[in-house]
Structure 1
């Protein structure tokens, strides 16, 4: 979710509700103790009690492979107010993997254990340490080894994405393989992957054996997905449009106009999966580089 589940989108999605907590984009740790300003950049909510404006807790996510350095940075994040530390062993990005981060570490369960254990020792006992992993790197042969390594290191819970790094984001997600992980460890397991609808959520729970779910791209494509899973009530474009307008207004002045406009287009590209109105709107703003002009188009779309 790097470059997508940013501060502004977290505000909008948690305003809509349905979430117990959310997680930052990953903070890359590579050999140095990062200054506080880096944590504030990736998690501005730290200055508001580590909660979104709706009051949803925000956990700080770290990605790296050096146990000592990860521990040092986790301790700093905790001192700045992070309510929990999440460790990323799932990112499939080639650039990240080339620098020995993310899902490639799943070839080394011993290192996974060392990173989790070091972070667990470094942060106060009342601050949870969690981990997220895929089923594996090239294959899922070591899925249970990695899950047991995370559990033995003292993690509070484990989130499992139901695909390997090699499988990327190609459907399906293998929820039954998450069930094997869930059955192999005593700590809580959260299921993730290919949850786009409330029906998907129910099938994932049944096949994985996990009641807790992590939503990623599905929540971006349908901002009311978490709410719908909890309540069974659907929502339409008229419910979403005001939140899109609020998102654009929040972005104003946060970067160069074309960067702000690019973020809006990125979200519309996800929204069009479920909403034809978003596809039509994206077609109208595709060449637009001024977010102020986008607000005018949104207003015209609402009036129509």
Structure 2
């Protein structure tokens, strides 16, 4: 099982659509929907997870599990029941967000100081939704240390969670390397529910080492998949014993060369232009290019070429030109053979 992680401010439905065009991802988890003290209208759920209007799936057919964040069991249960009307592909609960604003309002990872409340939240949501809708959870290793990680995991299990994703860092550790996969192994050994490993899985080699260290067969991929859109595909190819043509080439790049990334960028750009304010559009594309340049030299060149441009027309022209150039290059051997 390979799952696309929730990432607030980056992995919205537009990027989910683009990334799931590449095979390999089994499921996505949405960015969080914040629950405070109100029963949200259905449009609040479909605004963040428009896939709910298409059977809770991306256009490529990959299931999307909406994620709720909050600290009031009754209010979360009421909202989960309303969300269930849209027949989501499960409901995920956020106990891992490290953002200060979220934590200040008693949401995300700060709840790991209250495992009894975590259990009550899961139990309330589990009771509120039909049995066929899975209720899962995501947490970190803790706030300042890992002392309560296993206790929290066991609380979530006792509440009725069907599976648990664990990001291998505490709140204090943020996103700084390394990820502490050994601690996920400790959590996994202390619960019966399936555990999904998350954190610092950038390459196929990382995925294999993470599996070996944690004992988890299921992985959650975040920034690694944003940098290398074929990471899940390349992991699948490795699992199937498919040999790579060139040992010196990144398996993820071999599985999705740059000319095949360009159409994903173009589709993402089209989506951005249809829903994002004009002044913010260029920033969204550059944000993804900034990630892609870690794996693709061409993405670095694109980032440099577009760095100073905020005009949507200029960016659209650049994308069109480079797609055409890539198409011509792909047809070149055929032209030579014909000649």
TM bin (shorter chain) = over 0.9
Distance 2:164 2:113 in 1: 17
User: Partner residue of 1:131?
Assistant: 137
Whole-angstrom CA distance in 2 between matches of 1:88 and 1:276: 35
Candidates 28, 44, 57, aligned match of 1:38: 44
CA shift for structure 1 position 236: 2.4
1:70-89: CA deviations, max 9, x gaps? 11111111111212000011
Gapped runs of 5+ residues in structure 1? none
**SS across alignment from 1:15:** coil
Match of 1:269 in 2: 290
Within-5 A mapping of 1:185-224 = 185-224=191-230
Residue 162 of structure 2 corresponds to 156
Q: Whole-Å Cα distance in 1 between the matches of residues 322 and 18 of structure 2?
A: 20
**Which of residues 188, 207, 212 is equivalent to 1:182?**
188
TM, length-normalised to structure 2: 0.87
- Provide the rounded CA distance (Å) in 2 between the counterparts of 1:255 and 1:275: 26
Residues 14-44 of structure 1, C-alpha deviation per residue, up to 9 Å, x if partnerless?
1112111101110001111111111010011
Shift of 1:136: 0.4
Question: What CA distance in whole angstroms lies between the structure 2 residues aligned with 1:78 and 1:259?
Answer: 33
Give the distance between the partners of 1:6 and 1:13, measured in 2 at CA.
Answer: 11
Matches for 1:75-154 after TM superposition, within 5 Å? 75-154=81-160
Alpha-carbon deviation of 1:199? Answer: 0.4
- The match for 1:12 among 18, 22, 29 is 18
Equivalent residue, structure 1, for 2:330:
none
Q: Find the counterpart in structure 2 of residue 73 from structure 1.
A: 79
Q: Does 1:172 align with 2:196?
A: no
The answer for the alignment partner of 2:321 in structure 1 is: 300
Structure 1: distance between partners of 2:274 and 2:89: 29
TM-score (norm 1): 0.97
Indicate the residue corresponding to 1:283 in structure 2. 304
Question: What RMSD in Å do the two structures reach over aligned CA positions?
Answer: 1.2
**Does 2:272 match 1:251?**
yes
Q: Aligned partners of 1:135, 1:99: CA distance in 2, in Å?
A: 20
Report Cα offsets for 1:173-224 as digits up to 9, x if no partner: 0111000000000000000000000000000000001000001111111111
How many corresponding residue pairs?
Answer: 304
State the distance in 1 between where 2:226 and 2:155 align: 31
CA contact 1:90–1:161 (8 Å) conserved in 2: yes
Aligned-partner Cα distance in 2 for 1:16–1:292: 27
Q: Could you tell me how far 1:246 is from its partner in structure 2?
A: 1.6
Which of 24, 29, 33 is 1:23 aligned to? 29
Superimposed CA distance per residue, residues 258-293 of structure 1 (whole angstroms, 9 cap, x where no aligned partner): 222211111111111211211221122122223332
8 Å contact kept, 1:248–1:291: no
